[in-house]
Amino acid sequence: MAACAPPPRAGVRITPPSDDVATAISYVSSVPNDLEVKATAMTLLLDHPTAPATTRSAARARGARKVYGSGDTEVVALDNVDVDFAAGEFTAIMGPSGSGKSTLMHCLAGLDQLTAGSAFVGDVDIATANEKELTLLRRDRLGFVFQAFNLVPTLSAIENITLPMDLAGSKPDRAWLDEVVTTVGLAERLAHRPGELSGGQQQRVAVARALASRPEIVFADEPTGNLDSTTGAEILAFMRHAVRQLDQTIVMVTHDPVAASYADRVVFLADGSITDHLTDPTPDTVLDHMRRLGN
């Protein structure tokens, strides 16, 4: 297996389309087939919340296999993965660098396609959905937080946070938006543009943007990786609050046993396979598992 994933490209610029939703949807379909650009465009299209689910699986993979390259350069990033993310649950995904964590989330979020097997969000099969169905799925039901924040540089923090809803023509839930903004500690910084914010503050804007429209499921790829521990703890506590009190479903990749301990469950990946699960994690039990798995 190759050593590590390609580095994120910094400074991808997205010019938002008009405030008309149909134009915005065709815009996402037309942007280059570049993961980061599509992801940014996708986050611009998040819509109003859908009804929270109860006991069903919010997302799942069956026999998921993902192979990059071929011949000598072939990399099996996912190898026969079966996993369920229950609605209303906070799941952490852990594993060494290159174990397939990001690939799994991208394939579940419809940002990348599996080589074999299936991935579902709710009852939508990512493999057979067409581009328009995938666009609607991303807009209506998914939020994504990237390690590289993917903010629109020309907009203020609050404009970035509400842009998806503005584009979709939906009104933010004011009380919820205030809670999100206060919890991520951005109330004093709302008029600032990303370039005027620290990395940690930019990541807080990205987290707020993913949560602001209350999508059915939020995927977060190392969302606290660039934050100091105090800011990280506030955001983790907020995500847990959203899950416990508000039925949000969150799947989060992290390297940090303390961050993982905020989740209800930890799924461990190694070499593209799930090697273990842990429920009600504490930093100590997570560390124990990591040691046992040789992480």
Ligand X SMILES: Nc1ncnc2c1ncn2[C@@H]1O[C@H](COP(=O)(O)OP(=O)(O)O)[C@@H](O)[C@H]1O
Interaction between residue 254 and ligand X (CB under 6 A): no
CB of 225 to ligand X, least distance (A): 11
What 3-state class would DSSP assign to 6?
A: coil
Q: Which of 45, 53, 12, 52 is CA-nearest to residue 134?
A: 45
Fill in the amino acid letter for 41. A
Instruction: Kindly write out the interface string for residues 84-113 of this chain, putting x where it contacts Mg ion by CB under 5 A and - elsewhere.
Output: -----------------xx-----------
Q: Which two tokens stand for residue 8?
A: 């994120």
Place of tokens 């006991």: 55
- Tell me which of ligand X, Mg ion, none is bound by residue 97, counting a contact when its beta carbon lies within the kind-specific cut-off of 5 to 8 angstroms: ligand X
Task: State in Å, rounded, how far the first CA of the chain is from the last one.
Answer: 16
- Tell me which of ligand X, Mg ion, none is bound by residue 103, counting a contact when its beta carbon lies within the kind-specific cut-off of 5 to 8 angstroms: ligand X
The residue among 98 and 232 lying less far from ligand X, judged by its C-beta, is: 98
CB of 105 to Mg ion, least distance (A): 8
| 207, containing H or E segment | helix 199-212
- Tell me which of Mg ion, ligand X, none is bound by residue 117, counting a contact when its beta carbon lies within the kind-specific cut-off of 5 to 8 angstroms: none
Q: Which of 200, 203, 213 is CA-nearest to residue 162?
A: 213
CB of 277 to ligand X, least distance (A): 17
CB of 157 to ligand X, least distance (A): 27
Place of tokens 């969302």: 223
- Tell me which of Mg ion, ligand X, none is bound by residue 110, counting a contact when its beta carbon lies within the kind-specific cut-off of 5 to 8 angstroms: none
Neighbours of 256 (CB within 10 A): 18
The residue among 43 and 135 lying less far from Mg ion, judged by its C-beta, is: 43
Q: Which of 263, 259, 257, 290 is CA-nearest to residue 276?
A: 290
The residue among 104 and 180 lying less far from Mg ion, judged by its C-beta, is: 104
Separation between Cα atoms, residue 130 and residue 133, nearest integer Å = 5
Interaction between residue 258 and ligand X (CB under 6 A): no
> Which residues make up the interface to ligand X (CB under 6 A)?
1-2, 4-6, 68-69, 75, 77, 95, 97-103
Q: Return residues touching Mg ion (CB under 5 A).
A: 101-102
